[in-house]
Amino acid sequence: MKNNNNNFGFALFCLLVLSYPLQLWAASNEVQSIRIWPSPENTRVVFDLAAEPAHNSFALDNPDRFVIDLRQHKAQARLPGTDGEADLITSIRSSYTASNQTLRIVLDLSSKASANVFSLPPTGPYGHRLVVDFKGEQRELPVAQARAQRQPGRDIIIAIDAGHGGEDPGSIGPSGTFEKNLVLPISRRLAELINNEPGMKAVLVRTGDYFVHLNRRTDIARELQADLLVSIHADAFTSPQPRGAAVWVLSLRRATSEVGRMLEQKERHSELLGGVGDVIRDSTQERYLAQTVLDLSMNHSMVSAHQAATHVLTELGQITRLHRREPQAASLAVLRSPDIPSILVEVGFISNPQEEQQLRTAQHQQRLAQSMFQGLRRHFRASPPADSLFAQQRTREYRVQRGDSLSIVAQRHNVSVDALRQHNQLNGDTIRIGQVLRIPD
């Protein structure tokens, strides 16, 4: 590397000399494709470009429009076709001014909307992009419903977060499978199983192919007052060998394993891919984290998450290979809700060719969902929230001793004789030694 230092200075000099006149005539940019990602909370329009954009934008009303000027642009008679659609965007048109090499793109809108415009560098499957995020109404969450149910016998609420989405494909398998496209159907299957279980309710954080900011993912879980946030991902590594599922919980320190460090890095990468322009990067996460370190409830959340993770791992271990037998710890933003126990399940390695194929099958996706569901149910059966239906249903057992009578057992457990009779389908008062009685909570 030593020799390169001198060369580097010279190369830089050449680059500067050469690039100056280049700027004058290099109207090199071109819109290659346009993608629209509607989501419940915003509409994102992505322009795939040949080069980094020089742009400015403004809104007009009467009728409502949004205008983007792309400078240093090639003459482009017509825009490429649009992939996807959204109610907000009624049409996209363009005009070109040769004198200043500017392509003007006009988005006709069905209603007034403000937008956040930023460019993204090439990453993953995409090249240079210009992203226009129209803010919509905040998604109507079934919060009121969830809150109304906050009475004895309520459902246990589980927020299921399918990782990545939209502009962020997640990891990409050797035969081209996108992680975002695997974790959504698995999440949907898990939600369905949970919703079929009396006393449990699932809400999907991401319901389609669009990106949800990491902070927003935890915010949604918080708004739902979820009892648990389960984030679902597929792992990837630099070599094809690693395989198997793993479950992650929050560590306030940096991860110690190599896979863990990669995961932390991938999450930051995901934000970059998903398009967190500096403009919209907010301090929510830092705020919660700062608050968290002092907050004792974090301990409770972390312990609870660890227990849930252990149950899920045990069940996953019945149907798939495990990459790690114990819950792993990493410092991941999506796990960092101080008040909501959160786990991250890596259902397998998409970078392993066999697992990539297996993960694509409906049968394996269902098996994964089923075992995660079993694990979660087992966890909440073992430690239900005090006001939940699961808590009400929880029964202790008592083996009848010599000298016991029904009224003595009832008195000892602080329940009525009637409740005991009802719970054990007893008609009279007769009980026998060794008989197991179920004691209502």
**Sequence-separated (6 or more) residues with CB below 8 Å from residue 165:** 180, 184, 206, 208, 209, 210, 211, 212, 274
- For residue 82, the cross-strand partners are 34
3-state helix, strand, coil in the chain (%, to 5): 35, 25, 35
Residue closer to Zn ion by CB (options 170, 274) is 170
Given the rule CB under 5 A, which of 52-60, 158-166, 359-367, 405-413 is the region that contacts Zn ion? 158-166
Cα(312)–Cα(204) distance, integer angstroms: 18
Q: In what order do the strands lie in the sheet with 42-49?
A: 82-83, 31-38, 42-49, 128-135, 115-120
Question: Which residues between 227 and 256 bind Zn ion (CB under 5 A)?
Answer: 233
Given the rule CB under 5 A, which of 45-53, 65-73, 168-176, 377-385 is the region that contacts Zn ion? 168-176
- Distance in angstroms between the alpha carbons of the first and the last residue of the chain: 72
170 lies in the binding site for Zn ion (CB under 5 A): yes
Given the rule CB under 5 A, which of 71-79, 121-129, 170-178, 409-417 is the region that contacts Zn ion? 170-178
Is the Cβ–Cβ distance between 249 and 315 less than 8 Å? no
Residue closer to Zn ion by CB (options 223, 267) is 267
Rounded to whole angstroms, the maximal C-alpha distance in the chain is: 103
Could you give the string, one character per residue 322-361, with x where binding to Zn ion holds by CB under 5 A and - elsewhere? Answer: ----------------------------------------
- Cα angle 172, 173, 175 (rounded to 5 degrees) comes to 120
With the CA atoms of 79, 80, 85 and 91 taken in that order, what torsion angle do they form, in degrees rounded to the nearest 10?
20
Given the rule CB under 5 A, which of 26-34, 146-154, 162-170, 321-329 is the region that contacts Zn ion? 162-170
Minimum distance from residue 327 beta carbon to Zn ion (Å): 17
163 lies in the binding site for Zn ion (CB under 5 A): yes
Residue sitting closest to Zn ion (CB):
233
Residue closer to Zn ion by CB (options 233, 336) is 233
73 lies in the binding site for Zn ion (CB under 5 A): no
Residue closer to Zn ion by CB (options 298, 369) is 369
Given the rule CB under 5 A, which of 160-168, 195-203, 294-302, 328-336 is the region that contacts Zn ion? 160-168
The DSSP secondary-structure symbol of 415 reads -
Site residues (CB under 5 A) for Zn ion? 163, 170, 233
